[in-house]
Amino acid sequence: MKINPFLLLYQYLIVLPVVLVLTIITALLTIIMSPFAPNSRVTNYPARWWSRLICYLFFIRVKVSGLEKADPTKSYIFVSNHQSIFDIFALYGWLPNLFKWIMKMELRKIPLVGQACESVGHIFIDRSNPMAAQKSLEKAENRLVKGVSVVVFPEGTRTKTGKMSQFKRGAFRIATDLGLPLLPITIKGSFERLHPGKLFYVRPGTIEVILHDSIDVKSYGNEVSPELIRHTWEVINGEME
């Protein structure tokens, strides 16, 4: 891995301190605004611009295609592959739909950030406690109304190789229980921007976000279908090959 020392210094001495300040400001704005505009796109604006500014600071361009396939007045279960933390910035910054994240419980403990996420209704999952995780998913179902969607990384964690792992069932259970359409999203280039490892070093470049046609889960029956999971996986992975 070839590292540009000037870029590395820029990222550590300038970008990361700026990102820290932006994160604190964004969290505070979100916490302050959320009581006045619950379930509103207004409360998403601070995080939307926070995400965009982070990408700009790291010289990352986000290219999105297929936005016309996501009607902002409808609720979806967005399911995406997960390559790096920049997936979050790309989706938060450029996906116009109002949505909630399903995120791991550990993020709730981050000062201000966890509180901000909770204040706008994002869903925390305790993966070590199946019963608690089930209750969290039920809570997510109650929030998917009037055009509010949810974004899930069904692999459960970021890839360490750039290849997609098998999907877990949670997102598909929500979609099946509520009869909501699944909308697969392929993210490309995020792994190349930030490889997993001990050194945090972001490579400038492009991240592609590709929205696919939504999938009618009702045609797969009333239970979580292995065929539905397989088909969704193949749709997302097909754009990565």
Domain housing 105? 5-238
Q: State the pLDDT at residue 46.
A: 93
Round to whole Å and give the CA distance between 182 and 236.
12
Mean pLDDT (the chain) is 90
Report whether 47 contacts 30 (CB < 8 A): yes
pLDDT per residue over 35-54, tens digit each?
A: 887 777 888 899 999 999 99
Distances in Å between the Cα of 41 and the Cα atoms of 32, 70, 125, 208 are 14, 15, 23, 23
- DSSP label at 13? I
Comparing C-alpha atoms, which of 239, 81, 230 is closest to residue 155?
Answer: 81
Distances in Å between the Cα of 95 and the Cα atoms of 5, 60, 178, 222 are 33, 16, 22, 29
Q: State the pLDDT at residue 105.
A: 81
Q: State the pLDDT at residue 203.
A: 96
Distances in Å between the Cα of 204 and the Cα atoms of 31, 189, 222 are 31, 10, 45
Round to whole Å and give the CA distance between 132 and 20.
31
Q: State the pLDDT at residue 137.
A: 67
41 or 203, greater pLDDT: 203
Round to whole Å and give the CA distance between 25 and 23.
5
Local confidence band at 234 (pLDDT 50, 70, 90 cut-offs): very high
- DSSP label at 214? P
pTM: 0.91
**Is the per-residue pLDDT at 85 higher than 80?**
yes
> What tokens does 226 get?
């292995």
Q: State the pLDDT at residue 147.
A: 82
> What tokens does 199 get?
């050194």
Give every CB contact of residue 49 below 8 A, 6+ residues apart in sequence: 26, 93
Q: In what order do the strands lie in the sheet with 99-104?
A: 60-65, 205-211, 182-188, 77-80, 149-152, 99-104, 123-125
Comparing C-alpha atoms, which of 202, 105, 104 is closest to residue 158?
Answer: 104
- DSSP label at 98? -
122 or 61, greater pLDDT: 61
Give the CA diameter of the chain.
Answer: 56
Q: Map tokens 């964690």 to a residue.
A: 157
Taking residues 52-58, report their average pLDDT: 98
**Is the per-residue pLDDT at 108 higher than 90?**
no
Q: State the pLDDT at residue 102.
A: 84
Report whether 18 contacts 57 (CB < 8 A): yes
> What tokens does 73 get?
């007045």
pLDDT per residue over 135-192, tens digit each?
A: 766 666 676 767 889 999 999 889 999 899 999 988 898 888 888 899 999 999 999 9
Q: φ, ψ for residue 90 (rounded to 5)?
A: -65, -45
**Is the per-residue pLDDT at 130 higher than 80?**
no
Q: State the pLDDT at residue 140.
A: 67
Q: How many domains does the chain have?
A: 1
List the CATH number of the domain containing 203: 3.40.1130.10
Q: State the pLDDT at residue 126.
A: 74
Alpha helices of 73-216 — where are they, by DSSP H? 86-94, 113-119, 130-143, 170-178, 190-193
Q: State the pLDDT at residue 209.
A: 98
Local confidence band at 199 (pLDDT 50, 70, 90 cut-offs): confident
